[in-house]
Amino acid sequence: MLNFIATPTAGSKTISDLTRQREIYDQAQARLRSGDAVAAASICDEALKEFPDDANILCVAARANLALRRFEESARRAEAAVRRYPEFANAHDVYGDLLLATGRADLAVGEYEKTLRLDPARPATLKKIDKARQIASERNSEDTPLAATRIRAPRSRMAFESRIREAEQYMRDGSPDQAEKIYRDILKQDPDHVEAARLLAGIAVHHERYREAEVFLQRAVKMAPDYVRAWADLANVQRELDKIEEAIASATRVMELAPDLAESHMLYASVIGLAGRHEEAIEMYLKAIAASPGRAGAMCSMAHHLKTIGRQDEAIARYRAAIATRPDHAEAYWSLANLKTFRFEDSEVNAMEALLGNKELPDLPRSQIHNALGFEYEARKEFDRAFANFAECNRIRRKSESYDPVDTESTHDRVIELFTEEFLAQAAADPVEPTPILIVGLPRSGSTLIEQILASHSLVDATHELGDLTRAVQTLRRRARKQERFPEFLEKTRAAGWSRIGREYMKRTARYRKCAPFFIDKNPNNFIFIGVLKLALPNAKIINACRHPLDSCLGAYKQLFASGQPFTYEMTELGEYYLQYQRLMEHWHAVLPGFVLDVHYEDVVADLETQVRRLLEFCGLPFEEACLNFHATERAVKTASSEQVRQPIYSSSIHRWRSYEAQLGTLVHILEPLLADLPEASRPAQLLQKQQKTL
């Protein structure tokens, strides 16, 4: 489908005029795709005399002139399209192409990101962003040579070169389905066409059809075992499929084929890092930096691993080195702030404020800088400025998130409807060993503290926030070839099915465990699966990390998550999600009494030993003094609280919401049913005043 829109000025046109505009557009596009840019430009020039405001024709004219390297004419057409139709994605995409072609890659990234905000279904634009960023970072030796490594098609396949160019043009125009048809047609005629297989895999990745992509890439590397780019793509797809060992093998092959390239080391480091091999990943990033000095991305990734294993000073030094290498490296600023215990110098704050003054700064780094400044101003007790930065960060981030609060409520309704006392009374799977301890709740509610306490016990293996329970549940759905949504596809599941889920979960989590009789899974989102856990892993220990509703929501609102938690970026959605979470937890307590232990952050801070003993007793673990000295435990911690849990217990995070009480009116209103039942000292002033008026 072509990127054609009815322009805003078309309302006064006749049907015949609109038909003629479409015909002209199609004709010009066909000429441009065939390689006749001169004819395409000529068609557009004539048409624009009659239809000077047609956005579609303006864009084709800009592309045709760009192909002819008539940059001034291309700019005139592209700028007119953007100026007149600021909500037309294709106009920004064309203008981005012009900026990239004329050496303004930084500005091109901004235009491409605008394109994706307006029309997210444009995989070609994602690739353009990557290309523009690569070019923009060349001055810092941040090129990615693997991305440019291509296999040349054998002479016998040169007949397909024009078709591949045609497909690539479709991708640039945001029409991946048309490109997919071409690649599939090529493979029908020549099943051994390596590049068509690789490019078809790329389209499958865009549609998140990772298993299909893996099949095509496996085919590509079998036909061309020395094709570095295909091996790199395969490693990334296997990583998405959570096939870590296979991804490591593919990344190892990349290392064998391109041992001198920094990107080979970076790819390998990124994969082994997922396997928890942090020390080795650090060494690989050091090799990448040695092979290509000045790589800010490698420095930042290396710092992430240093932070995870508790080498904070070294992590800070690497983050700062990334900034020194590339002053606009917003991820490094954000990562420093995300340590929570770090404080910026005035010169660093001034540098971040200056970056925000650049109107062309893309959304992702802009949101990261706002988040970093939010935490810094909070530490300086400039709470109004802090909240303004958090709010702006979230406003930007929410635009790129897909979240439907109605769907959340509907899903919870259906979970409650299915998982009744009667349904949960059915025969469950057999107990498993080792015993899983799942810590659930909402993010920023003290779950990492609970995890660190339990991980300090000699009988407990620590892992991190695992996604394996969701995958195990979905595995049952795929095996049954059911099309129903969760939880409907579980309605007729019985003991054998629950056992399959349990076995799949234990199989998937094995690579994170050692040999202790207990292990922790700290994925907060697993609270929706508590009914599943009762039937699939009946001896699992479930701990619900609780916190004051306003502190919990505010903590989530301030956190810029690398991925996931899309409900946290808007106050109304955040408050409503909290109510849904609370409603579901109340249901689990009602139908599964005693199966879940609520642990309140405030209680842990107030009386650590009592709560530690309570936790251990619930899990069936003997008391150990090390659990009280949890901050001394050396282990990898990936979450945003990694540095906080390496300190002794402190109370400064309790009632932190009071510093922002003036900005939390919306949240207070939504959470009023919960806040009203709290002790008076824990209720916000506006609620107390309202309650007093009603007396």
Mean pLDDT of 620-643: 73
Sorting pLDDT into bands at 50, 70 and 90, what band is 695? low
pLDDT at 169 over 50: yes
The whole-angstrom separation of Cα 454 and Cα 460 is: 7
The whole-angstrom separation of Cα 63 and Cα 67 is: 6
| Residue of higher predicted confidence among 127 and 219 | 219
pLDDT at 159 over 60: no
| Residue of higher predicted confidence among 434 and 173 | 434
Give Cβ neighbours of residue 32 (< 8 Å, ≥ 6 apart). Answer: 40, 60, 63, 64, 67, 169
Does the structural domain 8-136 have CATH classification 1.25.40.10? yes
pLDDT at 634 over 70: no
Mean pLDDT of 654-662: 94
Sorting pLDDT into bands at 50, 70 and 90, what band is 15? low
The whole-angstrom separation of Cα 601 and Cα 641 is: 14
**Percentage above 90 pLDDT, the chain:** 60
pLDDT of residue 14: 54
Q: Which CATH class is domain 414-651?
A: alpha beta
pLDDT at 456 over 80: yes
Mean pLDDT of 9-17: 51
pLDDT of residue 478: 76
pLDDT of residue 134: 67
pLDDT of residue 310: 84
Mean pLDDT of 634-650: 53
pLDDT of residue 450: 95
pLDDT at 587 over 80: yes
Least confident of 216-220, 622-626, 684-688: 684-688
pLDDT at 559 over 70: yes
As to burial, measured by CB atoms within 10 angstroms (0-12 exposed, 13-18 middle, 19+ buried), residue 63 is: buried
pLDDT at 1 over 60: no
Least confident of 72-86, 472-486, 615-629: 472-486
The whole-angstrom separation of Cα 318 and Cα 312 is: 10
| Residue of higher predicted confidence among 178 and 152 | 178
Phi, psi of 543 (to 5 degrees): -120, 125
pLDDT of residue 276: 84
pLDDT of residue 529: 98
Mean pLDDT of 151-174: 65
pLDDT at 152 over 90: no
CA dihedral of residues 446, 452, 457, 463 (deg, nearest 10): 110
Phi, psi of 460 (to 5 degrees): -125, 130
pLDDT at 661 over 80: yes
Report angle CA 413, 417, 420 to the nearest 5 degrees.
Answer: 135
| Residue of higher predicted confidence among 557 and 75 | 557
| Residue of higher predicted confidence among 659 and 85 | 659
Least confident of 158-167, 262-271, 574-583: 158-167
| Residue of higher predicted confidence among 275 and 155 | 275
Mean pLDDT of 210-216: 94
Q: Hey, what are 170's tokens? A: 């479709």
The whole-angstrom separation of Cα 559 and Cα 448 is: 14
Which residue in the block uniquely carries the two structure tokens 């060993």? 433
pLDDT at 491 over 60: yes
pLDDT at 166 over 90: no
pLDDT at 363 over 60: yes
Which residue in the block uniquely carries the two structure tokens 């829109």? 5
Q: How many CB atoms lie within 10 A of CB 98?
A: 22
pLDDT of residue 653: 80
pLDDT at 466 over 80: yes
Length of the chain: 695
pLDDT at 99 over 80: yes
**How many Å is the Cα radius of gyration of the chain?**
28
Helical segments of 210-329, H only: 210-223, 228-240, 244-257, 262-274, 278-291, 296-308, 312-325
Q: Helix, strand, or coil here: 165?
A: helix
The whole-angstrom separation of Cα 425 and Cα 610 is: 33
Amino acid at 558: K
Sorting pLDDT into bands at 50, 70 and 90, what band is 640? very low
Mean pLDDT of 284-296: 89
pLDDT at 540 over 80: yes
**Long-range pairs for 475-483: beta carbons < 8 A, 24 or more residues apart:** 475/500, 475/501, 475/504, 476/500, 476/501, 476/504
* Mean pLDDT, the chain, whole residue set: 87
User: Do residues 340 and 641 touch, judged by C-beta distance below 8 A?
Assistant: yes
Q: Where in the chain are the domains? A: 8-136, 414-651, 657-694
Least confident of 286-295, 381-390, 619-628, 647-656: 647-656
Q: Hey, what are 452's tokens? A: 């660190």
Mean pLDDT of 457-468: 92
Ranked by mean pLDDT, the top range of 51-60, 70-79, 101-110 is 51-60
Strand partners, 596: 542
Mean pLDDT of 357-363: 89
The whole-angstrom separation of Cα 178 and Cα 184 is: 10
Sorting pLDDT into bands at 50, 70 and 90, what band is 146? low
Q: Hey, what are 632's tokens? A: 């001394």
The whole-angstrom separation of Cα 449 and Cα 443 is: 12
As to burial, measured by CB atoms within 10 angstroms (0-12 exposed, 13-18 middle, 19+ buried), residue 608 is: middle
pLDDT of residue 648: 65
